[in-house]
Amino acid sequence: MLQRTMTRHTLETLCFDNTYARLPQAFYARLNPTPFSTPPYLIHANPAAAQLIDLDPDQFGRSEFAALFGGSALATGMEPLAMLYSGHQFGVYVPQLGDGRAILLGEVKNERGERWDLHLKGAGMTPFSRDGDGRAVLRSTIREYLCCAAMRGLGIPTTQALCLVGSDDKVYREQIETGAMLVRMAPSHVRFGTFEVFYYRKQHEHLKTLADYVIEQHFPHLRDVEERYVRFFTEVVERTVTLIAQWQAVGWAHGVMNTDNMSILGLTLDYGPYGFMDDYDAGFICNHSDHNGRYAFNQQPYIGLWNLSCLAQALLPLAEKEALKAGLDTYQPLFEREYLRRMRAKFGLAEERAEDDGLVRDFLGLLQGSHADYTIVLRELSAFSTADSALNEKLREHFLNRDRFNDWAVRYRDRLRSEHSRDDERRDRMSRVNPRYVLRNYFAQTAIEKAQDKDFSEINRLFTLLQDPFAEQPGMNTYALPPPNWGKHIAVSCSS
């Protein structure tokens, strides 16, 4: 059988097909990126993301690559624009947000017919900057670049990051930092807030245009379906459920789940003050600006539903209220089922049983009471022995109340035995869903501090590590250890 050879494009031959730029002018503002005042330079580039747009990774070494994705040049076919949207921020509606420090350069169409937005973050001021400078700092772009890689490695739907470009330009935040730009990729950057802006402006003709556009481009199986707007909303509910269930299962908090940070495609979008949990804490707040804990880890499922209710509200001119409400009503049972399905896999349970929810929740309670590390303990749980309790001593040492753990371990052992679980086979299955490595905040902080001295080796090391977080990687054992005490207390905020 002959294999099709993939075309590898240069920067000059990328194929642009800018469908969003064909929408009415009310959807965006056209403008070019603002170049840095100092020459941009490439910090890191992602071959896997380049493959999505058929771009030859050999292009990374060209000076034109850093110029193009550092805002100093445009490729043929790009039609730069800043997207308009609004949104509920910390529960309060803000009538106009939009791309305040990002510009959609254009949409690349690959050989498979897939379209990928090239979205340049840190590209300078736009009409939506709201008194901001439109820049991103090196610190925040490193955090986003690495977490895109981490989520992709974990199999969690996410935007991708093509490259990270640095500069010597000074940017003023809480302190003086250097500016950087990041190219974010996604099939679409339409958000819940993109629908909200036209609903609250009572521009229902634009709302319909947007819904029809999103369905045509990203839900084409619904284009001729009766009640397609309701069906579209229901599928967005399902995608959002799946996404947040994956966040909860892996122990990750977004930090700023505003409706303008919710992807219509169910992708993890806008990496700011995120955090993977170290010690398990159901009420984990990763954003030190979130004083009331609105976006705490255990609130994320509820906030997902709340945000979807805002989207349903925005779709009222296009669909019946009761039909949209019926879609919303599916959220909670879908989430409970999807989350528990993923947790069963993490616990190595092959069969579905009524007592599983209690078994999982009691274990999480033990973790919380012992300040035990979520990632490490679940990974070690894969080595649980159903035949010899003495072999479980290493796992038992993570828990302060050994008697309570022993009681739980007996329940778990009996549950595994009742479905004839084989320890070796179960260990393999659990190791494929319980990561050995996650992007802990202190890993990112170490990479940031080195990068501020123009040492990018830790970015490269972490990027490589996070490609396969489930496999044992030689020489990387230190990345699977508990964090030092200082590493557990790194403050991140919306500017991070």
Q: Which residues are catalytic?
A: 260
* 306 CB-near residues (< 8 Å, 6+ apart): 91
Query: Checking phi first, is residue 428 left (phi over 0); if not, alpha (psi -120 to 50) or beta?
Result: alpha
DSSP string, 123-187: ----TT-TT----EEHHHHHHHHHHHHHHHHHT--B-EEEEEEEEEEEEESSSEEEEEEEEEEES
User: What is the rounded distance in angstroms from the CA atom of residue 396 to the CA atom of residue 305?
Assistant: 37
**Beta strands, E only, 17-143:** 28-30, 41-45, 81-83, 87-89, 92-94, 102-109, 115-121, 136-137
What is the number of alpha carbons within 13 Å of residue 183 lying toward its C-beta? 27
CB of 69 closer than 8 Å to CB of 76: no
CB of 82 closer than 8 Å to CB of 103: yes
Return the ∠ at Cα 473 (arms to 470 and 477), rounded to 5°: 100
User: What is the rounded distance in angstroms from the CA atom of residue 85 to the CA atom of residue 388?
Assistant: 58
Helix (H, G, I), strand (E, B) or coil at 23: coil
Handedness of CA 469, 277, 265, 238 (dihedral sign): positive
* Radius of gyration of the chain from its Cα atoms, rounded to whole angstroms: 23
Helices (H), 374-456: 374-381, 393-396, 402-418, 423-431, 441-451
Helix (H, G, I), strand (E, B) or coil at 22: helix
Which strand (E) or helix (H) includes residue 276?
Answer: strand 275-276
CB of 57 closer than 8 Å to CB of 45: yes
CB of 387 closer than 8 Å to CB of 377: no
CB of 88 closer than 8 Å to CB of 94: yes
Helices (H), 262-330: 300-314, 321-329
CB of 106 closer than 8 Å to CB of 114: no
User: What is the rounded distance in angstroms from the CA atom of residue 148 to the CA atom of residue 151?
Assistant: 5
CB of 466 closer than 8 Å to CB of 146: yes
User: What is the rounded distance in angstroms from the CA atom of residue 103 to the CA atom of residue 146?
Assistant: 21
User: What is the rounded distance in angstroms from the CA atom of residue 151 to the CA atom of residue 263?
Assistant: 15
